[in-house]
Amino acid sequence: MNPLVRLMKLLRPQLPLMLLGTFLSIITVMANIGLLAVSGWFITIMAIAGLSGVTANYFTPAAIIRFLAIVRTAGRYAERLLTHKATFNTLAALRYYFYTRLEPLLPYYRVNFKSSDILARLQQDIDELDNFYLRVLLPTLVAIFTIPLVGWGVSFISSDLALVIVAALLIVGFVLPLLILLLSKKRAQQQAKLSSELKIELVDGMASMRELLVYQIAEQYQQTINKISTHYHRSELHLHRLHALATALTFLAINATVFASLYLLVPQVHAGNLQPEFVASAALMILVCFETVINMPLACQILPKVHDSAARLFDIIDKPIPDVGGDTLVTAGAVKFNHLTFCYPDGQDQVLNDIELTIEQGKKVAVIGASGAGKSTLVNLLMGFWPVQASGITINDIDLNQLNTESLREHIALMSQNSHLFHATIGDNLRLANPQVTEAQMRDVCETVGLIDFIDELEDGFKTWLGETGSGLSGGQKQRLCLAQVLLRNAQVIILDEPTKGLDRRSERTVIHNLFEQLEQSQQSLLLITHKPLMLQRMDKIIVMDEGRIVAEGSHKTLMETNDYYRTLLNYF
């Protein structure tokens, strides 16, 4: 389906406001045309009456002028109010619509999208869509409805003049914009693409500025930005020149139409077929009637950008969502991987092969392996991020595919290596895990992870603001705050991926001791990904993975005595 047609369907809730705004815009334009026409006629009549010494009706045309002036002023205010309200409502609705459809897709397609690309589409492309009604649809509808009305009104003065004006309006309103559209379409698409690329590069560059400086490649990055910016501004300059050309041709057409009207009307006045006051009325009316089509060239320039922005957004949300999850609520019990085999839809090689693993309720199991062994995939499947084979994973003997996704993620708490901290207070970041948590509970959990002394030293305590991605905290403090978030979830199964990364040996011992003590008291199950011997020594079972297979399992002591690969992994990391 055409992206613009789909966009029109999304605008349907705002249709009453849009139609009313369009109606008021038409009324305002026609009142403005009528005001100038009557004013020209009235001024001419008064001049003739003054020079010839005859009487003229002053009150009726004066009343009409006042009425039309009031209609124009009130109509313009109401039209701007309604059309902009419809535009802002549309913008809010579009952001909500696209986010709610993008959010379920990210667990499955996250590897295919850059964060900066998603940001560019959600921000820049949606901002472009708000031009659709105000700068494309509205002026087009106004032109379509007012051109026949103008022609009908002018026909009372001269049918020939009506044909000339309608022809000029059609040329300026449709022929010229279509010509501009053909000339600008390629450049507009190029500009939209370059704008997206520029935003992606800028976001990625700001996020990796430290690495760019450390590896002394900031200059090459700057050259890349300059190159994209140069191409972008060249495209923008080309579009501005086309817009300037369209504006110049529009004013040329307006003046040519005025001269054509004089050429047609003056002979009729000499012949006595037309009253002279209608000449001034027609001239002023022509000058203002082009207001109905003056924005059409710009509308045709914006239309390709709106089309491409809509196409890019729909391209994301049209991706199929894997059929994951059912209606059954999760209950506490053993987590079992039953001869699980898995490969990603866009890949051919098996990422996991015949995984047989059981995590009994309240037990602690570690998974160790080199990069690419399948550890993260194992976690992603348990979290329900990808569909698995029937009975491939069960919780309390219930197939994962039958479990409600939201219930599953309430039952399982995950701390990944890339856990995110928001630009908010420490307390707000903790409340994301549990909105009902009290400050006393926050203090307890921060004491468990060894963070409470640091927080007490802060002037604002839990009300201290963190920068973006937790800036203001050290790497180890970020890890401990993320671990505190997980513990506040009160989930039955906790998954931790290198939870003590960035901690010194003393802090690591304290955190491990407190963590395992709490797990034993709460009887929570633990699935741990780590290569730290301090943690592995306290696990009930350790699984060793290599190339998607389980190659060994046992306790830390047993594996150290019997498995060379396990010892190699620990020595390597």
SS (H, E, C) 69-81: HHHHHHHHHHHHH
- DSSP H or E run through 352: strand 352-359
Task: Tell me, yes or no, whether 329 lies in a domain.
Answer: no
Q: Give me the sheet containing 493-497, strands edge to edge.
A: 412-415, 493-497, 525-529, 364-369, 541-546, 549-554
Tokens of 382: 């348990």
Is this structure's pTM higher than 0.85?
A: no
Within-domain flag for 345:
yes
Task: Report CA 241 to chain centroid distance, whole Å.
Answer: 30
CA-to-CA distance for 76 and 69, rounded, in angstroms? Answer: 11
Look at residue 323 in the predicted model and tell me its pLDDT. Answer: 63
Please report, for the domain that includes residue 444, its CATH number: 3.40.50.300
17 in any annotated domain = yes
What is the band of 190 on the pLDDT scale with cuts at 50, 70, 90?
Answer: confident
Long-range CB contacts (< 8 A, 24+ apart) of 303-308?
A: 303/136, 303/181, 304/181, 304/184, 304/185, 304/188, 304/189, 305/128, 305/131, 305/188, 305/191, 305/192, 306/4, 306/7, 306/128, 306/129, 306/131, 306/132, 306/136, 307/3, 307/4, 308/188, 308/189, 308/192
- Check residue 386 and give its pLDDT: 79
Cβ(31)–Cβ(75) under 8 Å?
Answer: yes
Report the share of the chain in percent with pLDDT over 90: 17
Q: Where are any strands of DSSP class E within 520-572? A: 525-529, 541-546, 549-554
Q: Are residues 67 and 130 in the same domain?
A: yes
Q: Are residues 357 and 302 in the same domain?
A: no
pLDDT tens profile 504-533: 888 888 888 888 888 888 888 999 998 888
Let me know: does 378 contact 351? Beta carbons within 8 Å: no
Gap between the Cα atoms of 382 and 388, Å rounded = 9
The shares of helix, strand and coil residues in the chain, as percent rounded to the nearest 5, are 65, 10, 25
Q: What's the pLDDT score for residue 143?
A: 92
Does any domain span residue 327? no
In a domain, 328, yes or no: no
Residue 298 belongs to a domain with what CATH number?
A: 1.20.1560.10
pLDDT digits (tens, 9 = 90+) for 262-287: 888 888 888 878 787 788 888 888 88
pLDDT tens-place string over residues 326-379: 788 888 888 999 988 888 766 667 788 888 999 999 899 999 988 888 888 888
Sheet holding 352-359, edge to edge: 352-359, 335-342, 393-395, 398-399
- Give me the number of domains the chain comprises: 2
Structural domain harbouring 116: 3-317
